[in-house]
Structure 1
Amino acid sequence: MSELTQGDAPLSRRLQQNYADLRMLEHAVFTRPERPVVMTVANQKGGVGKTTSAVNFAAALALGGLNVVVIDADAQGNASTALGAEHGVGTPSIYDVMVEGASLAGVIQDCPDVEGLRVCPSTIDLSGAEIEMVDLPRRAFLLSDAVSEFLSVNRDVDVILIDCPPSLGLVTLNALVCADEVMIPIQTEYYALEGLTQLWSTIERIRSELNPRLRISTIVLTMVDKRTKLSEEVAAEVREHFGDITLTTVIPRSVRISEAPSYSQTAVTYDPRSTGAIAYRKAALELTQRWAQK
């Protein structure tokens, strides 16, 4: 076989690694957390793979046998699209939960491609929610109250993943007040850590004033291109500062990951044998192993 390359390895070696990883994943045990985990996926810097990570972790965890709910808290609705959820005008959505007081159970849809995965969709209505929420009582706890009520009845849920907008507004505040943990996707490119200090300080302030459970538990490196020195340098810098919470598994830059949303799918379901899909499944397995060690 010719020395065609993908990333930093010959294609033949990469295919062998993919095959070995798939065999490993076939027999891997995705351990359920002892109690439901509410994890918010946040980074106010756009284009870092935030929504992509939220939906692919969700799909990978569900394929591993966990019961997962994704809350799409971004008015763009990209997570809803990727998970095949209806989110046109008039669809019951997270807006109805946070602004109108609807129950979370009343708006959740099943993901058509993955058993055990459900979605609370977002619609364009959420784009104006910040203004409407300002005058509501317990405005920082709207989502937290809804999730607490939902979990008190739906005791089979293992994980709730919340996809935030790329901002630090009132919707994101609700997602952080609601969460036990925060996952931060970081793209391994120039200015990757830009804005991280502000996000970190915001999370610490919320933890001290509104949600003592909250902690940054996970950093995932995304869009990694091992052919470039910059990607390696950024990854090394992140591990130097945040090594204990950075997943060993990295998410490569991948055409399949980019294509999947246009087919209303995650990479994990769109092309399960692709390098990107395998990476997300391995990262999800690593996440469950970390939960089991707590």
Structure 2
Amino acid sequence: MPPRTRAKGATVIAVANQKGGVAKTTSVASLGAAFAELGKRVLLVDLDPQACLTFSLGVDPEGVEGSMHDVLTGRLPLADILLECADGVDLAPSSIDLAGTEAVLLARPGREFILGNALAEQAKNYDIILLDCSPSLGVLTLGALTAASGLIIPMPCEMLGHRGVGQLLDTVRDVKKILNKKLTVLGVLPTMFDSRSGHQQEVLADVGERYGLPVLTPPIPRTVRFAEAPAVGRSILETARKSKGAAAYRAVAKDVLTRI
């Protein structure tokens, strides 16, 4: 089993929800840009084989020379794949090869600690490392929860958005018992919020009490600006700087900093 090492110097935050379509990748890109605006050295790690974060930051996943697949399988050190991106953040990109990484790792002892060990090699160079997890509770997400000290759970303000959060929290409890006692849920991040909807207002009021978790504020509003940003490889903080969505992520970033 590999030795367990912590990412000393950086605060590692996993952004996870095994339900897709919850604005997870948008939240990672936008929070990363907001932290960078606040003067933080930020690394974004794409752990999703679909490579949506990589694409959103203007990087062609098919054109990268190395990806997180190479890091997790021991082919390359993390330093060799890092890319500088336009929003003032660094990126550890994904590629389609990551789809086969879990199968490779399943046969390896201590597989849950491989990601954390890789991050520790670069942690002194960053203040915050955000992990964009795949929409599943497989080996890659377990590795992220083992490596992280904090967890943010993006969740749409609709009743179906609750689906899967309970299962994720069960996994978090298991991880804390066995793999990572320091893991803390920083909060649920309400996304795609429409303040005109009474139903969404009710869900927002209910979510913290239902799960006994803090709720990050303010909720992220629904806006077409989020869909436009990836087309130019930038976050909404650059493409629509004065929009309500950009303002919300800036405020949430400040909220997160008070919790870490």
TM class, shorter-length: over 0.9
Equivalences for 1:220-259 in 2 at 5 Å?
220-242=189-211, 245-259=214-228
Counterpart-to-counterpart distance in 2, 1:89 and 1:127: 16
Counterpart-to-counterpart distance in 1, 2:208 and 2:42: 29
Q: Give yes or no for contact 2:58–2:230 (8 Å, CA) kept in 1.
A: no
Match of 1:148 among 120, 125, 137: 120
Q: Which residue of the partner structure matches residue 85 of structure 1?
A: 59
Q: Which residue of the partner structure matches residue 102 of structure 2?
A: 130
Q: Which runs of 5+ in 1 are unaligned?
A: 1-33
Counterpart-to-counterpart distance in 1, 2:229 and 2:138: 29
Q: Which residue of the partner structure matches residue 93 of structure 2?
A: 121
Instruction: Map Cα deviations across residues 226-270 of structure 1 (whole Å, 9 max, x no partner).
Output: 111111011011133357621121100011012111222211111
The alpha-carbon distance between structure 1 residues 243 and 277, as it changes in their structure 2 partners (threshold 3 A), is farther
Match of 1:165 among 134, 148, 166: 134
Is the counterpart of residue 70 in structure 1 residue 39 in structure 2?
no
Amino acid at match of 1:123: S
1:90 Cα shift?
Answer: 5.3
Q: Which runs of 5+ in 2 are unaligned?
A: 1-7
Amino acid at match of 1:268: L
Q: Which residue of the partner structure matches residue 260 of structure 1?
A: 229
Aligned residues: 253
Amino acid at match of 2:242: R
1:89 Cα shift?
Answer: 4.9
Counterpart-to-counterpart distance in 1, 2:46 and 2:114: 15
Percent identity over the alignment?
37
Q: Which residue of the partner structure matches residue 259 of structure 2?
A: 290
Counterpart-to-counterpart distance in 2, 1:242 and 1:204: 13
Is the counterpart of residue 174 in structure 1 residue 143 in structure 2?
yes
Amino acid at match of 2:84: D
Quote the RMSD (CA, aligned, Å): 1.6
Is the counterpart of residue 36 in structure 1 residue 10 in structure 2?
yes
Equivalences for 1:4-43 in 2 at 5 Å?
35-43=9-17
Q: Secondary structure at the match of 2:221?
A: coil
Q: Which residue of the partner structure matches residue 3 of structure 2?
A: none
Counterpart-to-counterpart distance in 1, 2:121 and 2:210: 37
1:275 Cα shift?
Answer: 1.1
Is the counterpart of residue 188 in structure 1 residue 164 in structure 2?
no
Runs of 4+ in 1 over 3 A off after TM superposition: 241-244
Q: Give yes or no for contact 1:133–1:139 (8 Å, CA) kept in 2.
A: yes
TM-score of the pair, normalised by structure 2: 0.93
Instruction: Map Cα deviations across residues 5-63 of structure 1 (whole Å, 9 max, x no partner).
Output: xxxxxxxxxxxxxxxxxxxxxxxxxxxxx952100000001111111111110011011
